[in-house]
Chain A
């Protein structure tokens, strides 16, 4: 065996090659993700306005946020409202629908397709569709409600109903996470159900004691990602309210919308960057709590 001069072992060589392969992405991560991230942290302590100003002002932005910007608190409240309702509702909704979709009934594929379809459609077209559906007089939702004698609210025009309307809309799109639950439900060993059936467990108990624990890893994943997604709610409010101003009586001013306005309407970029860091800290803490609570209820097969 001849020893090479460069003296790299196979392992080192493979390691090096591995790095060469991921180099473009590594470069991207440093230059386009980490760079701007650190820049925004630094700029949040300045009065940066993109074009002409960048003076260090210490914690002024943060002080202003908490002491004199009333819209900051309103926007934070609206966003929390959305997260608190939409995350549990969409999770429960997705689990229930995937249980239904997991039954062995002829034509099930058609139903699965129908329920998944809304997840394929996205963007402004869907919001415009919902604006029509939610129209107080002529919309389909209120028309159906009127058949059963309920006078529907004005949805997107009544400050008390704007957020429920948006949450309602997010429920329509549970098809995406339904797919995850469905996949994990089909991975639950049949033998468990058979054993339970022999022991005389009814369908509800089988769901509660077998299905649910077995899909907790996916529930956990879904809760974490939809919480993060919930805090980033922006498009709905931007598209579905007149000129993106945040709906009647500020009821749809979400955190990101207020941030966007501060950044691109008032050019107060330093302030907006500070806001984004506050949002980051909130999401970080919630995710951390989630991760700490996870061992109490998430059941990993193989005991990890």
Chain B
């Protein structure tokens, strides 16, 4: 009796299991059939993976997909949203299993690495001649490996200078005149500090809020940490040493306690001190800072300017990252995938994305149209215009294929310097030789 019941249970389980499997398959066939019913020709279905699932981003990308689907009848794109933490490892597993999505949004810094490791399709042959000129060159170059194109840039970011005009006025500074050089920045910061017995109500400026030491080094030297021509790290330089020392001396005025406390309270993007009126000047991405000011900081009267120069004439170099649209290796129909990517990175879709998300986009025409858009407020247009003008000052630092994880060796050395455990020269020397070792292996 008991055995009978158990066998019955087992059979039931098996039936349930099979049923669960077959519903999936059933739905899929039904879906394809319906599509084929609508159109006489063969419709190509594309699976498009993104991590844009938030209330603000999902509707925008869904609308772009819908517009693309309505614009022609050969290709139907289906949007799959995967969480930020999972999407790229899932993609990797799918590529390894030979069943990848058709298009994916991926990190711009690692395109070369995926190209070397056969994780992404070479799409050079499907792209139009001269497409390159439609995009900001730094972004485009990041998607090229050994003269072949593996991805098309979608969006990017840059870092610009924000200052609180009311605080400038209160401190006796000209509210329309942002600091142009590091020396001025330091001078203004001192005037803007509002301190009372060791407790700061307002801090003038913090060199490591919103950005970190590496960006000060790039602003000083005008270049990233890797020379792609000679395949060598380029960490050691006098200007980089000067930048590190400058940022640390700047911080030492406040003391480590104030800084670490400040980082804990305002780090990890839990709250923004500039928006909260606790910081008079900040360097931040236009997207991140402006949208917060727009939504939560209505009474903050602010201005925007390029990154201050180390000294006059040294350049306003700043740093950016971004995302690309690409075709994972082994995708069934790369040509159709690229058709969709062209739309996604075309001026129309890019303008829509830029305006709706106040995001820096990769397509020059799309970005410039967005800056003129009536959808943005006057202040919004001003910030966006500066954001795109600033693309000329923005460098990208794609990961070199010889040392993809080099930052995990560089950052700790810089941190040890910042905490006073070693000199700037020593930190850069250590980092340089650690990266050389890594690349040598």
Q: A33 on the interface (CB 8 Å rule)?
A: no
Q: Which of B256-264, B288-296, B311-319 lies at the binding interface? A: B256-264
Q: Is the CB of A154 within 8 A of B421?
A: no
A21–B10 CB distance below 8 A: yes
A136 touches B92 (CB 8 A): no
Report yes or no: B411 in contact with A245, Cβ–Cβ below 8 A.
yes
Contacts A136-B260, A248-B415, A265-B405 given: A51-B92 contact, CB under 8 Å? Answer: yes
- Given A21-B6, A52-B118, A137-B261: A242 and B408 interface contact (C-beta under 8 Å): no
- Interchain CB contact under 8 A, A71 and B261: no
Among listed A155-163, A195-203, A222-230, interface-contacting one:
A155-163
Provide the residues of chain B in CB contact with A26, threshold 8 Å. none
Q: Is the CB of A17 within 8 A of B404?
A: no
Q: Which of B88, B89, B92 has the most CB of A within 10 A?
A: B92
- Identity of the chain A residue whose Cβ is nearest the Cβ of B258 in the assembled complex: A137
Give the bracket for the number of chain B residues in contact with chain A: 35 or more
Q: Is A70 an interface position by the 8 A CB rule?
A: yes
Is B416 in contact with A242, judged by CB distance below 8 angstroms?
Answer: no
Interface centre among B89, B93, B263, B412 (most CB of A within 10 A): B412
Cα–Cα, bound, A131→B269 (Å): 13
The answer for the CA separation of A68 and B329 in the assembled complex, in Å, is 32
Residue A216 CB within 8 A of the other chain: no
Chain A residue at smallest Cβ distance from B404:
A266
Closest 9 CB pairs of A and B: A52-B118, A137-B261, A154-B260, A157-B260, A250-B412, A135-B264, A136-B261, A266-B405, A249-B415
- B409 neighbours in A (Cβ, 8 Å): 70-71
| A139 in the interface (beta carbon within 8 A) | yes
A selection of 27 A-B contacts at a CB cut-off of 8 Å is A21-B10, A50-B96, A50-B117, A51-B92, A51-B118, A51-B329, A52-B117, A64-B441, A68-B441, A70-B434, A131-B268, A134-B264, A138-B265, A139-B264, A154-B257, A154-B260, A154-B264, A157-B260, A159-B415, A242-B267, A242-B268, A245-B407, A249-B419, A261-B405, A262-B405, A266-B404, A267-B404
Q: CB-nearest residue of chain B relative to A156?
A: B264
Residues of B within 8 A of A249 (CB): 412, 415-416, 419, 421
A253 to B425 Cα, complex, angstroms? 24
B437 adjacent to chain A (CB < 8 Å): yes
Q: Nearest CB to that of A159 among chain B residues?
A: B419
Check if A246 is an interface residue, CB within 8 A of chain B. yes
How close is A141's CB to chain B, nearest CB, in angstroms? 11
Q: A202 to B113: give the CA distance in the assembly, Å.
A: 69
A53, B268: Cβ atoms under 8 Å? no
With A and B bound together, what is the CA distance between A53 and B96 in angstroms? 11
Complex contacts, A134 vs chain B, CB 8 Å: 264
Tell me, yes or no, whether A264 is within 8 Å of chain B by CB. yes
Please provide the chain B residues from 239 to 287 with a CB less than 8 Å away from any CB of chain A in the complex: 256-257, 260-265, 267-268
Taking chain A's interface residues, is the majority helix, strand, or loop, or is none over half, making it mixed? loop
Per-position contact with A for B106-124: 1 when CB-CB < 8 Å, else 0? 0000000100011100000
Residues in A265-281 with C-beta less than 8 Å from chain B: 265-267
Identify the interface centre among A20, A51, A245: most chain B CB within 10 Å of its CB.
A51
Quote the shortest CB–CB distance from A282 to chain B (angstroms).
22
Interface residues in B291-337 (C-beta closer than 8 Å to A): 329
Q: How far is the CB of A161 from chain B (nearest CB, A)?
A: 10
Return the chain B residue nearest A13 by Cβ. B3
A-B contact count (CB 8 A): 91
Q: A246-B408, A248-B419 are in contact. List 14 more A-B contacts (CB 8 A).
A: A50-B95, A50-B96, A51-B119, A131-B268, A136-B257, A136-B260, A138-B261, A138-B265, A139-B264, A158-B260, A242-B267, A242-B268, A245-B408, A249-B419
- A102 surroundings in chain B (CB, below 8 A): none
Instruction: Report A-chain residues with C-beta under 8 Å of the C-beta of B263.
Output: 157
Q: Which chain A residue has the least Cβ–Cβ distance from B269? A: A242
Query: A49 at the A/B interface (Cβ < 8 Å)?
Result: yes
Partner of A49, one of B89, B93, B117, B415: B117
Contact (Cβ within 8 A) B96 A71? no
Cβ–Cβ contact A51 & B96, under 8 A:
yes
Chain B nearest Cβ from A146, distance in angstroms: 12
| Interface of chain B residues 351 through 383 with chain A (CB within 8 A) | none
Tell me the residues in window 225-249 of chain A with beta carbons closer than 8 Å to chain B beta carbons. Answer: 242, 245-246, 248-249
* Residue in chain B with minimal CB distance to A241: B268
Q: Mark B6-20, 1 if CB is under 8 A from A, else 0.
A: 100010000000000
The distance in angstroms between the C-alpha atoms of A131 and B270, with both chains bound, is 11
Task: Tell me how far the C-beta of A133 lies from the nearest C-beta in chain B, rounded to whole angstroms.
Answer: 11
Complex Cα spacing A131 to B262, Å:
13
Interface residues in B406-441 by Cβ distance below 8 A to A read 407-409, 411-412, 415-416, 419, 421, 434, 437, 441
Docked complex Cα distance between A2 and B310 (Å) = 101
Contacting residues, chain A, for B118 (C-beta < 8 A): 51-52
Residue interface mask A284-304, B partner, CB < 8 A = 1: 000000000000000000000
